[in-house]
Amino acid sequence: MPRRTSSVTRRTRPPRLRLPAPPRKRLGQHFLHDAAILDRIVREGGFAADEQVLEIGGGTGELTERLARVVEHVVSVEIDETLCRHLRARMAPYPNCGVVCADVLAYPPHVLLAQGGGHLPYVVAGNIPYYITAPILRHFLTAEFRPTRMVLLLQREVAETLAAKPGKMTLLSVSVQLYASVR
């Protein structure tokens, strides 16, 4: 006998996200699809119409598309070949968006920007997996051409660590605060 769900559950359950491929655990993939959160990232990120954005991990393109609607140019860097094909198809109507299929840590940011049709100066945006947060921060904050700012969705504990005050700081928070102000 099929299990019944209450009408409240049915009304509040988010719609199922249709993925071009299942998330790959080894890459730390987790796809953000909550429209309210995505809109909040764009709104609170303060993205301007004249900005170049390098997006880390375009995934299904939910954030990519929102960014393309408000900034001058988006370069979405995605490591997963299947998702790259999906992103290219989804973003085809947006001439201000380039998709680069690569490991964001394997190339200097200015090279990735150029490959995707963008240029300096730039802003970094993304929904970052926990295991790669420190390498990503190090990669961009020590790059020859650093971003003007980084708008990242991080695991709460990582964000709290980065914003720690003296006495509660870790090596990661000290390192990041040496290069940037954390909010």
Query: Is 75 inside any structural domain?
Result: yes
Q: Are 116 and 100 in contact (CB under 8 A)?
A: yes
Kindly state whether residue 10 falls inside one of the protein's structural domains.
no
pTM of the model as a whole: 0.81
Residue 163 lies in a domain: no
Helix 62-70 to helix 81-91 angle, to the nearest 10 degrees? Answer: 40
Mean pLDDT by 10 residues, the chain (183 residues): 41 47 53 84 96 95 96 97 94 98 98 98 93 93 96 87 88 85 84
Strand 123-127's sheet: what is its strand order? 97-101, 73-78, 52-56, 123-127, 149-153
For 107, the domain range is 28-154
DSSP 99: E
Q: How many domains does the chain have?
A: 1
pLDDT of residue 4: 43
Contact 42, 66 (CB under 8 A): yes
Does a structural domain hold residue 133? yes
Residue 36 is predicted with a pLDDT of 92
Residue 9: inside a domain: no
Any idea what the CATH number is for the domain that residue 139 is in?
3.40.50.150
The answer as to whether 12 is a domain residue is: no
Bridge partners, 126 (sequence order): 56, 152
Q: What is the pLDDT of residue 49?
A: 98
On whether residue 146 sits in a domain, the answer given is yes
**Domain-located, residue 174:** no
